[in-house]
Amino acid sequence: MEWRRLNGQRIERPLLDAVEETIQREIAAGYKLKVCIGTDSQVIGEEVHFATVIVFLREKRGGFMFISNDKSTRKMTLRERMILEVGRSVEVAYALCHLLDLYDVALEVHADINTDPAFESNTALKEAMGYILSMGFVFKAKPDAFASSSCADKVI
């Protein structure tokens, strides 16, 4: 995965190095951090466009994010797409969890899945929640899943 900042600046270093440098800088500046990871997707023509974000929240001081975009031409149902979104988020969370534990940074994995059964995305809720929780991560779904439903949604 290739990563960039919101301003478009590419992150040239390996992700773990960039995240560790960021955590060290923010802690040195006196901030308490929380990291939220989420993925959203959108069907555009024949392609499915994905955006995965790592949101760094400074307690009571705003935040910023790293972004990775990808696309696929594979046909998939909405349920498959939701599970793929969760899989991408879990993959990133798993890669970062030891580093975040080392610096005592809280981690949440956000799923762009509605908790209201009236919405079609709800069909993937139980699977997504089970997957994320079984990996030992804190799970958030809509309306609390801002990393996926707001941040990632804006950068697809």
In terms of DSSP H, where are the helices of the chain? 15-28, 78-102, 125-134, 146, 153-154
**Exposure of 64 by Cβ count < 10 A (0-12 exposed, 13-18 middle, 19+ buried)?**
middle
pTM of the shown model: 0.94
Q: Provide the pLDDT confidence category of residue 107 given band limits of 50, 70 and 90.
A: very high
Q: Provide the pLDDT confidence category of residue 127 given band limits of 50, 70 and 90.
A: confident
pLDDT digits (tens, 9 = 90+) for 77-99: 988 999 999 999 999 999 999 99
What Rg do the C-alpha atoms of the chain give, in angstroms?
A: 15
Residue 101 has pLDDT above 90, yes or no: yes
> What distances in angstroms separate CA 69 from CA 2, 33, 130, 131, one per listed residue?
8, 24, 25, 22
111 neighbors 145 (Cβ within 8 angstroms)? yes
pLDDT at 119: 82
pLDDT digits (tens, 9 = 90+) for 33-59: 999 999 999 999 999 999 999 999 999
Task: Name the phi and psi angles at 85, rounded to 5.
Answer: -55, -50
pLDDT digits (tens, 9 = 90+) for 1-38: 899 999 999 999 999 999 999 999 999 999 999 999 99
pLDDT at 122: 81
Q: How is residue 101 annotated by DSSP?
A: H
The domain 4-154 is classified under which CATH number: 1.10.4160, 2.30.29, 3.30.420, 3.40.50? 3.30.420
